[in-house]
Amino acid sequence: MSKTPPVISGGLPVFGHALEMMRDREKLFKRGFQEAGDIYTIHLGPQKAAVVTGAEWNKIVYTQTDKSLNMNVAYAFLKESIGEVLFIASPETYVNQRPVLQEVFKRERMTTYVKAMNREVQSWLDSLEDQGEMDITAEMLRLTQYVAGAALIGEDFRTELGEAFWKNYGAISRSMDPILPPRLPLPKFLRRDKAKLEIKKVFHDLIAKRRHDPANYDDLISTLLTTPLKDGTFMDETTIVSMFTGLLFAGHETTAGQAAWLVTLLLQRPDYLRLVEQEIDRIVSLDTDIDEMVLRKLETIYWAIDETTRMRPSADLQIRTVTHPFQIGDFELPKGWRVILNAANSHFLPEVFSNPYQFDPLRWSPERAEGKNPFAIIGFGGGIHKCTGMNFAKNEMAIITARLFQQFELELLSRDIRIIQGAGANHPSTVLVRYKRK
Ligand code: HEM
């Protein structure tokens, strides 16, 4: 008879491991792995969840998604904040919307996105004093908002979206709560509903302008308006607003957290930073944009990006729900169980990554090629729902790194930098640096 994975110790009556998971999930996952190996069970209140580790099981989970597993049940808490789009929608709705998602991320558009990244990163650097102190975590959050706005809406995004947009977006983003019922009359949920209405009003006007004068626009909204869904119909206004909010959510806080860690980890490894600076001196001109040809040559920066994804992933866990009894290893997971992929163990397996707790970007060089199995790390997901914005995010982080270290000397002042876990993306605590224009 098939069996379910072993339950790890420490579960409390009623809550099971839920409190421990809320307090420090990395510690819980590591403890579970030491105790029970690469597939084990935790109890989250009445909900049972199998935690799996390693490329072999990660691959099964990714390839079974939308077959024996789904995403939308576990991520249902996002529905009230964002709407029925992307992986928050049912697998059928997702398949119907997929052609639009592919259109938004098709290769040719990257050139426009990269130009927007260049513009926004340079204008951020120009806005800094010649010397001073700043918190990289806060700066990256603002910068990635501007990059997302500029790339998705265009150069006029500040006037088009209006002053209040980011405040309203922040109210939506802060309302995301995987635990509380999303319709409780709590202040944060009321603020969310008000913000959603206001954003909808802004979009109503933006959409009307594009409907009235389609030839004048080639941005995300016009793409969402004019690209047919799989069934031949078009997205309605509510879905367009949800798609935009969903893309911003998927795209900017994740990138902000990872970009802040990237700068931090480089500053903590001055010897590797020197290699990066030499590469920048060799390849990046001050006077011309960093285009895709230049980006392709910045290999030490991209290795550092991959190493940051491994060591400090913004998306350190992913969750699925079992829709049909599901075999993994020697176990069978019954319908209704959750499956959790975790970076805490998968990204630090010593048989895959040598000296796994060391920030060592050269492990990604072709000579060493550690973790070449695409399912060894989960930082950008995998399978059909693998992050469609991965290249966008990596290019953005590369441009930030190249321009920042080209034009400024930085000294890391913060010492005890911690991982802050959010409802969506992880990010570092305050990263105070002293900077000086070169
Ligand atoms: C460092 C930055 C980023 C990280 C760490 C990240 C991570 C992820 C992960 C882990 C998933 C899969 C979730 C799962 O399987 O449960 C995902 C999906 C997705 N991401 Fe990203 N992401 C990043 C940046 C972006 C950007 C910049 C965009 C868009 C501009 C974006 C758009 C998306 C979309 C649309 C999906 C859903 C894909 C689908 O369901 O087919 N992401 N991302």
Each residue's pLDDT tens digit, 297-308? 999 999 999 999
Average of per-residue pLDDT across 87-110: 92
Provide the 3-class DSSP secondary structure of residue 5: coil
Task: Give the distance (Å) from ligand 1 centre to CA of residue 386.
Answer: 7
Task: Give the distance (Å) from ligand 1 centre to CA of residue 184.
Answer: 28
Q: Dihedral of CA 437/265/174/255: which sign?
A: positive
pLDDT at 422: 67
Task: Give the distance (Å) from ligand 1 centre to CA of residue 166.
Answer: 20
Task: Give the distance (Å) from ligand 1 centre to CA of residue 120.
Answer: 21
CA–CA distances in Å: residue 280 to residues 128, 248, 298, 353: 21, 29, 8, 27
User: Taking each helix axis from N to C terminus, what angle separates 107-127 and 136-153, rounded to the nearest 10 degrees?
Assistant: 140
pLDDT at 2: 67
Mean pLDDT of the chain: 94
pLDDT at 44: 93
Q: Is the pTM of this model over 0.85?
A: yes
Average of per-residue pLDDT across 241-263: 91
Which residues does residue 40 pair with via DSSP β-bridges, in sequence order? Answer: 51
pLDDT at 372: 85
**Which domains does the chain possess?**
53-437 (1.10.630.10)
pLDDT at 423: 58
- Of all atoms in ligand 1, which is nearest to the CA of residue 148? 30
pLDDT at 177: 79
pLDDT of 141 higher than 70? yes
pLDDT band of 249, cuts 50, 70, 90:
confident
pLDDT at 77: 82
Instruction: Tally helices (H) and strands (E) across the chain.
Output: 16, 12
For the ranges 56-65, 419-428, 429-438, which has the lowest average pLDDT?
419-428
pLDDT band of 313, cuts 50, 70, 90:
very high
Separation between Cα atoms, residue 239 and residue 295, nearest integer Å? 34
Closest CA to 279 of 362, 402, 364: 402
Average of per-residue pLDDT across 415-424: 83
With beta carbons less than 8 A apart as the criterion, state whether 326 and 279 touch: no
Residue type present at position 344: A
Provide the 3-class DSSP secondary structure of residue 369: coil
Pocket of ligand 1 (CB under 6 A): 71, 86-87, 247, 250-251, 254-255, 258, 314-315, 318, 379-381, 385, 387-389, 392-393
User: What six digits make up the tokens of 420?
Assistant: 């802050």
Considering only CA atoms, which residue is closest to atom 24 of ligand 1? Answer: 251
Average of per-residue pLDDT across 355-382: 96
